[in-house]
Amino acid sequence: MTAVQAVALVAVALGGTAVVFARDPARQALVSSVFGISLAVLFLAFQAPDVALSQVVVGAVALPAMIMLTLRKIIRREEVDRGER
Amino acid sequence: MDVAPYAVVVPLIAAGVLTGLATQVNRAIAETLALAAAIAVTVFCAILLVRVAAGAEVYWFGGWEPRAGLAIGVSFTVDTFGAGLATLCSVLMVAALVLMWRYRDTDAPHFQTLMLLFLAGMVGFCLSGDLFNMFVFFELMSVAAFALAGYKIDEDEAVEGSLNFAVTNTIGSFLILTGIALVYGRTGVLNLAQISGTLLDGPHDGLVVVAFCLLAAGFFVKAAVVPFHFWLADAYAVAPTPVCLLFAGAMSELGIYAVGRIWFDGFADALAVHADGLRTVLIVAGCLTALVGAVMCVLQDHIKRLLAFATIAYVGVFLIGLGLLTSDGVAGAAVYIVADGLGKAALFGAAGVVQHRRRSVSLQRLRELGPGMAATGVVWVVGALSFAALPPFGTFLGKSLLEDGLVKEGYGWAIAVLIATSALTAGAALRAAGAMFLGWGESGPPPATEEESVPEEEGTPERTPAVLFVPTVVLALGALAVGLVPGLVEAFEGAAEQFVDGSSYTAVVLRGANGPALEAASSYSAPASAYVYSALTFAGALAVAAVGLFGSRVRGSIVARTSDATQAVVAPLRALHSGHIGDYVAWLVAGVALLGGSFAIALQ
Amino acid sequence: MSFLPYGVAAWLLLIGLYGIVTSRNLVHLIVCLTVVQSSTYVLLLAIGYRSGGTAPIFADIPSSRRVVDPIVATLTLTDVVVEATVAALLLALAVQAHRRFGTLDPNEMGALRG
Amino acid sequence: MSSRVRYAVFGTGALGLAVLLVWGLAGLPDLGDFAGRYGHVLAHSAVPQRKATSSISVTTFDYRGIDTLIEEFILFTAAVGVMVLLRVQRAEEEVPAEPEAVRRPTARSASLRSLGAALVGPILVLGIYIVVHGHLTPGGGFQGGVILMTALFLIYLAGSHMNLGRLRPLGAMEASEGVGAAGFAVIGLGGVVLAGSYLENFIAPGQVGYLVSGGDLPLLNIAVGLEVMGALLVVLGEFLDQRLLMKKGQA
């Protein structure tokens, strides 16, 4: 195992743990985006550039975007609710 | 012409076209196209079923035939059971699409698109001969099923139920994928037939056991084997009726089929010395599932939830059959799957009619509405008698084959579980019939959370639309026909011989050999004991129904006292079905550990 | 040391499941599910790796070069797409759950009992 | 079940699962020592058989093309599923959500928008490049499709001061998704007609390293790119939808 792989593996393990313990979803979306990038680095280290590219576009862009939009939709609804009551 | 790929490709293209033209397509066109595609798939599957009687068929996608004994591409490996199950799925899909004709809110063409994708996933899963390809079809089926289960987004139960369904089943998929990764890490190949040989050559260590355990656990989540079963009742009870029909009639059974497929064609040789241990584990798991499902079934007030728990109970029965790991057990389970699948689908159809006419699915409420709907009642009772496995239903022959198999392998005690399961589920269904169609029984306290059920179909509640009633009747007749068509059971026995024969499977796939043709077994007639057990079951079912309807009249009697005792047992069992996703996942993890632990002990 | 990647895969699986079981927010739960899934990526790619191998893309390496396994990359690609799709569906359900229950906390839902 | 019982059940189970995983994973070859036959054969037959340099792409779209076809349909299913799950029910009122003030362009949002607009061109080119070079270099329909989605999404955001509800080209996105998905399946039929089996590569492979090589791989990549782009735009569009779903009477 190369040093890069070892470092990336440890980063991924820590990143995954951080995602789980980020209990606030908005912050979690950011943490998971960083986690996504650390996974992509690991995949590069494992000589899988195709997967790394997919992981960057999905894990670091598409997924956090979906999470943020979901939260936005929910928060908007809560605002409307509060305004009504 | 090779028809195997078209059974999958036709619904996929139809789905793509429907969505591509979404803005131009109206509901009538969408429904016609979807129905036409489903009928085409049924025809393809039926052709396959007829053709593979002469020996299993292999179709290599992309023309990549094996080179030097190595499978390069992905194959559909079709044998009688694979083709038969695919046919069952497509027949039920046709029935479901007909039922949907009058469905109130189909959001055309998206609903039809999802149904077609669901069909393609199920059929592909039945036909595939490549482990990873099976996983991909499984995911297609699952993703479509999640969306279909949550279809009624304006009901609390539907949203929560499909969330529970999606989360637990997705975790199940990851377990399967982890299992596939382990297998690939050891063997370096993905075709099931090739895996079998390579596993046999390698060491038979923990990796092989754990890989099988993870794969089985993942498929057991889909099949809803205890303790992976919690999501099922939540999801099945809330899905639209036509979707329920498919879920209960075919999807759960696919999980059991998959475990059989990977065992006989992948792992059986490598783990052959451990077959006895595995047999015990699977039969015990099956018994537990059957009993939990049957007991919960009796406790339900919501008729679709009642049928959902009956589905779990029968998954347990099928698992007992598969768990025997002999062709007898598999044949029994297969006859049972087809007969019970049709019977259950008919019951769900009848439940849909009741919901249409009475605007409720709560037994309490339906009882208050008084007697009526004789024709639907007859169909319902036919379904209930199919649960009871009375002759001449197909379930009777399935159960009798299972009993033979159990006795032969020294598991005679499990017959008691079969009888109890049939008696409890049939009793629950008969009690429901008494309450719904005859207005029998007494009103208890009103159910805690029962909203007026929103009608699913268009039209007034005064009469039953033919598109609801006719498919239901046809399905009920189908359940009878399985037991009546001469030679059918014998053909199942022959097909089971094919299914458990892993070495000719390998030869067909990798060496292009001709598989053994389907040979019907010699004429089968149920032994006298089967009739005795059947009578016992029926008496038990009547007793369960009677206690359920009139038990509260005889206060202070033995019935009431035993019911106090049963309450002490069932109350905690009910409490476990909490609807909380965290609980379900905790049980899932514990279940994997338990399964792994018992494999580890049994396989030493 | 050579067990490290497998250990990381197992860790991601377990910690993600822990997050799901203890989650008090559906969106959080769904993201934890993607952590569980990332365990399978790590496992697959670690299995297919070969010491000193490069990516099996022969644009500018000789065909005799030692390369890593292309199959695991293909499998993981599929896996990544599946992750995104399941997450999208679940998030849509979470939006609906919030509409129905006014909360994202699974402890406060409970339309389904017994 | 109380939280404490739940954690106890999970804790016990997780411990067992951990032991199980270690038992199984211990049987894997050491990192770097994998010697799978299948992968080795495919890695070294891609160039001679298909004249495409990326053996990952050849595996994805040719040797194991059926997996990819179904994978593409999984994404398609999810997009349709999201549309279904977020549809507006009859019982609901549509609530115009964003207050006017937010929609009016401010200086800051205007500069952001022009930045976004300036990025669209390069991103679009990058996306197309990655799609059509899938058989030669890392990347392909999936990765390029997501990048194309990002470009179109920027256009969409740049126009966000207008009424999105009316501009939202969901129909077109849906069409792109459907055409891409069905396109892959139909190209597969070409294999039946012209070569003999479903998904068989029916176009001459051409010369190694050229854009037109690998037979039908570039076509499949384009179909996948269209589908992925359409599906993700549909999903994001649904999530971005300004309407709020409300129960009747709440609004």
- Name which of A43, A73, A80 to mutate to probe chain D: the one with the most chain D Cβ atoms within 10 A of its Cβ: A73
| Rounded Cα distance, C73 and D138, in Å | 11
| Rounded Cα distance, D22 and B163, in Å | 31
The residues, any chain, with a CB within 8 Å of residue C95's CB and separated by 6 or more, are A70, A73, A74, D86, D239, D245
| Rounded Cα distance, B292 and B570, in Å | 10
> How close does chain A come to C8, measured CA to CA in Å?
6
- The yes-or-no verdict on residue D121 having pLDDT over 70 is yes
The percentage of residues in chain D with a pLDDT greater than 70, rounded to a whole number, is 80
Say if the Cβ atoms of B589 and D197 lie within 8 Å.
no
Supply the pLDDT for residue B454.
Answer: 61
Q: What 3-state class would DSSP assign to B279?
A: helix
Nearest to B189 by CA among B198, B200, B178, B202: B198
D127, amino acid identity: G
For B220, the domain range is: 6-442+466-513+521-551+558-602
Neighbours of B51 (CB within 10 A): 16
Contacts of D37 in chain B (CB under 8 A): 70, 188-189
Asked if residue B506 is part of any domain, the answer here is yes
Asked if residue D160 is part of any domain, the answer here is yes
Asked if residue D87 is part of any domain, the answer here is yes
What is the per-residue pLDDT across D185-230, written as a single tens digit (0 to 9) for each?
Answer: 999 998 888 888 898 888 888 888 888 888 889 999 999 999 999 8
Neighbours of B337 (CB within 10 A): 31
Mean pLDDT comparison of B120-134, B561-575, C68-82, D113-127, highest-scoring range: B120-134
Say if the Cβ atoms of B71 and D38 lie within 8 Å.
yes
What is the per-residue pLDDT across B406-441, written as a single tens digit (0 to 9) for each?
Answer: 999 999 999 999 999 999 999 999 999 999 898 888
| Domain total in chain D | 1
More confidently predicted of B119 and D232: B119
More confidently predicted of B264 and B570: B264
- Of A56-65, B104-113, B224-233, D62-71, the least confident: B104-113
- Name which of C11, C45, C60, C95 to mutate to probe chain A: the one with the most chain A Cβ atoms within 10 A of its Cβ: C45
More confidently predicted of D49 and C59: D49
Asked if residue B152 is part of any domain, the answer here is yes
Say if the Cβ atoms of D36 and B188 lie within 8 Å.
yes
| Rounded Cα distance, B185 and D20, in Å | 16
Supply the pLDDT for residue D17.
Answer: 96
Asked if residue D19 is part of any domain, the answer here is no
- The yes-or-no verdict on residue D116 having pLDDT over 80 is no
Asked if residue D49 is part of any domain, the answer here is yes
- D77 touching chain C per CB within 8 A: yes
B210, amino acid identity: V
Supply the pLDDT for residue B73.
Answer: 92
B359, amino acid identity: R
Asked if residue D86 is part of any domain, the answer here is yes
- The yes-or-no verdict on residue B70 having pLDDT over 70 is yes
| Rounded Cα distance, B92 and B192, in Å | 28
For D97, the domain range is: 36-245
- Of B306-310, D21-25, D35-39, the least confident: D35-39
Asked if residue B449 is part of any domain, the answer here is no
Average pLDDT over residues B250-271: 94
Say if the Cβ atoms of A50 and D57 lie within 8 Å.
yes
- D87 touching chain C per CB within 8 A: no
pLDDT band at D103 (very low <50, low <70, confident <90, very high): very low
Contacts of D235 in chain C (CB under 8 A): 88
Choose among A49, A69, A81: nearest Cβ to D236. Answer: A69
| Domain total in chain B | 1
Supply the pLDDT for residue D106.
Answer: 55
Supply the pLDDT for residue B347.
Answer: 95
Residue in D closest to B154 by C-alpha: D89
Instruction: Give the neighbours of chain C: at least 3 Cβ pairs within 8 Å.
Output: A, B, D
Contacts of D9 in chain B (CB under 8 A): 583, 586-587, 589-590
- Name which of C72, C74, C76, C96 to mutate to probe chain D: the one with the most chain D Cβ atoms within 10 A of its Cβ: C74
The residues, any chain, with a CB within 8 Å of residue B367's CB and separated by 6 or more, are B435, B436, B439, B440, B441, B443
Q: What 3-state class would DSSP assign to C50?
A: strand
Say if the Cβ atoms of C13 and D21 lie within 8 Å.
yes
ipTM at complex level: 0.94
Contacts of C12 in chain A (CB under 8 A): 12-13, 16
Neighbours of D58 (CB within 10 A): 30
The residues, any chain, with a CB within 8 Å of residue B107's CB and separated by 6 or more, are D84, D87
The per-residue pLDDT of chain D, averaged, comes to 81
Q: What 3-state class would DSSP assign to B195?
A: helix
Q: Which domains does chain C have, with CATH numbers?
A: 4-54+65-108 (1.10.287.3510)
Mean pLDDT comparison of B456-470, D104-118, D188-202, highest-scoring range: D188-202
- The yes-or-no verdict on residue B446 having pLDDT over 70 is no
pLDDT band at D165 (very low <50, low <70, confident <90, very high): very low
Instruction: Give the neighbours of chain A: at least 3 Cβ pairs within 8 Å.
Output: C, D
Residue in D closest to C90 by C-alpha: D82
Is residue B75 within a helix (H) or strand (E), and if so which, with residue range? strand B75-78
Supply the pLDDT for residue D49.
Answer: 87
Supply the pLDDT for residue B138.
Answer: 96
Q: What is the pTM of this model?
A: 0.94
- The yes-or-no verdict on residue C110 having pLDDT over 80 is no
What is the per-residue pLDDT across B347-375, written as a single tens digit (0 to 9) for each?
Answer: 999 998 898 888 888 888 888 887 888 88
Asked if residue D22 is part of any domain, the answer here is no
What is the per-residue pLDDT across A7-18, written as a single tens digit (0 to 9) for each?
Answer: 999 999 999 999
Q: What 3-state class would DSSP assign to B77?
A: strand
Asked if residue D229 is part of any domain, the answer here is yes
Contacts of D198 in chain B (CB under 8 A): 5, 9, 59, 61-62
What is the per-residue pLDDT across B527-559, written as a single tens digit (0 to 9) for each?
Answer: 999 999 999 999 999 999 998 888 766 545 666
Asked if residue B182 is part of any domain, the answer here is yes
Neighbours of B564 (CB within 10 A): 8
Nearest to B203 by CA among C52, D145, A18, D29: D29
Supply the pLDDT for residue B398.
Answer: 94
> How close does chain D come to A75, measured CA to CA in Å?
11
Say if the Cβ atoms of B62 and D197 lie within 8 Å.
yes
Residue in D closest to B61 by C-alpha: D198
Asked if residue D3 is part of any domain, the answer here is no
pLDDT band at D234 (very low <50, low <70, confident <90, very high): confident
| Rounded Cα distance, B493 and B48, in Å | 18
| Rounded Cα distance, A39 and A56, in Å | 8
Asked if residue B453 is part of any domain, the answer here is no
Asked if residue B451 is part of any domain, the answer here is no
Supply the pLDDT for residue D9.
Answer: 95
What is the per-residue pLDDT across B273-325, written as a single tens digit (0 to 9) for each?
Answer: 888 999 999 999 999 999 999 999 999 989 999 999 999 999 999 999 999 99
Supply the pLDDT for residue B116.
Answer: 96
- A25 touching chain C per CB within 8 A: yes
- B423 touching chain D per CB within 8 A: no
